[in-house]
Amino acid sequence: MKSAVIVFPGSNCDRDLAVALELITGRKPAMVWHKETELPEGTEFIGVPGGFSYGDYLRSGAMAARSPVMRAVKDAADRGVPVIGICNGFQVLTEAGMLPGALMRNAGLSFICRPVPLRVENSQSLFTAQYDAGERISFPVAHHDGNYQADEATLDRLEGEGRVAFRYLDQCNGSARDIAGILNDSGNVLGLMPHPERVVEPAHGGTDGRRLFEGLLETVA
Amino acid sequence: MKARVFITLKSGVLDPQGKAIHHALEGLGFSGVNDVRAGKLIELDLADNTSDSEIEDMCRKLLANTVIENFRIEKLENA
């Protein structure tokens, strides 16, 4: 699988994601700087990593969402290329209008950094096919602005269309309906606050994230 | 020409920062505070021929996230 990881000034999980992708797909992803206007020819998967792009200036993800490379990411997503936005990447995708809603300051105001239990709500997507519906898994979170909010109509639509991919089992940041990750309407864009790329080897303390990338590899390759 | 853009959270959107400020005010002994909402002020120094609709466009496309925020533009013509 030919993958690309987008790198903004202030990204800091780009390397984690690249290491996980290389481990699982056997191929190093292309690291694509935010000023690029095109992705490498034949890119089959795009990762928008975590971090603090542009120092979280204005709003988390706001500046990154308007950077040149995001036009190419949007075009690729429109063509059906799978895109994952993890943590700051999720914030970037909502700011870019590729996913609905917004991520606000955690309700408890604290930066949260710990493994959290999650439930896989939709096991039919490109990203979650290797999990069982309702399965309980654990991914770490590390964020200050992970409080997912959208208007009631949008939340109802997400639930009704099976677009809530992951839900927190313990309320950790104030997110509406405990939403941890959502899909776009075509199902090829996933945004989530927890970090699957940080649980892919036993030394990480867990391997629950592995199947997300393995599932993608199987569908895409 | 200068313009000020005031960005505030929509009503009904939980404002944890406003809440924390409220708590801190109470901690300092200010008792008559009913609620606190925190927002942003952005000052723009603009070319004189900048139209209102252009400023509004700036707000919609970048300065405010209209999913959760409202904005208000105040033009300071003689500044």
- What CATH number is given for B2-76 in this structure? 3.30.1280.10
pLDDT at B79: 56
Enumerate residues 6+ apart whose C-beta is below 8 A from B35.
B18, B22
- Residues in A 44-73 with any Cβ partner in B closer than 8 A: 58-59, 62, 66
The answer on pLDDT for A19 being more than 60 is: yes
Q: How many domains does the structure of chain A reveal?
A: 1
Phi, psi of A133 (to 5 degrees): -60, 135
The C-alpha atoms of residue A99 and residue A85 are separated, in whole angstroms, by: 10
Q: Is the ipTM of this complex over 0.95?
A: no
Query: How many other CB atoms are found less than 10 A from the CB of residue A179?
Result: 24
Domain CATH number, residue A85: 3.40.50.880
The C-alpha atoms of residue B50 and residue B71 are separated, in whole angstroms, by: 18
Q: Which of A87, A121, A143, A204 is catalytic?
A: A87
Given the structure tokens 């989530």, which residue do they identify? A192
- For the entire predicted model, the pTM comes to 0.94
Q: What is the mean pLDDT of residues A212-218?
A: 95
Question: Could you tell me if B24 lies within 8 Å of chain A, comparing CB atoms?
Answer: no
pLDDT at B78: 66
The C-alpha atoms of residue A189 and residue A127 are separated, in whole angstroms, by: 9
Provide the pLDDT confidence category of residue A160 given band limits of 50, 70 and 90. Answer: very high
Share of chain A above pLDDT 70, in %: 100
Domain limits, chain B = 2-76
Given the structure tokens 């542009």, which residue do they identify? A54
Active site residue A195: yes
Residues of chain B below pLDDT 50: none
- Measured over the CA atoms of residue A57, residue A59, residue A62 and residue A64, the dihedral's sign is positive
Yes or no: say if A182 and A191 are a contact pair by the CB < 8 Å rule: yes
- Measured over the CA atoms of residue A182, residue A104, residue A75 and residue A51, the dihedral's sign is negative
- Identify the weakest region by mean pLDDT among A129-133, A135-139, B14-18, B71-75: B14-18
Active site residue A197: yes
In the 8-state DSSP scheme, what is residue A200? S
Q: What is the mean pLDDT of residues A120-132?
A: 96
Q: What is the mean pLDDT of residues A34-42?
A: 97
- The whole domain housing A77 covers 3-220
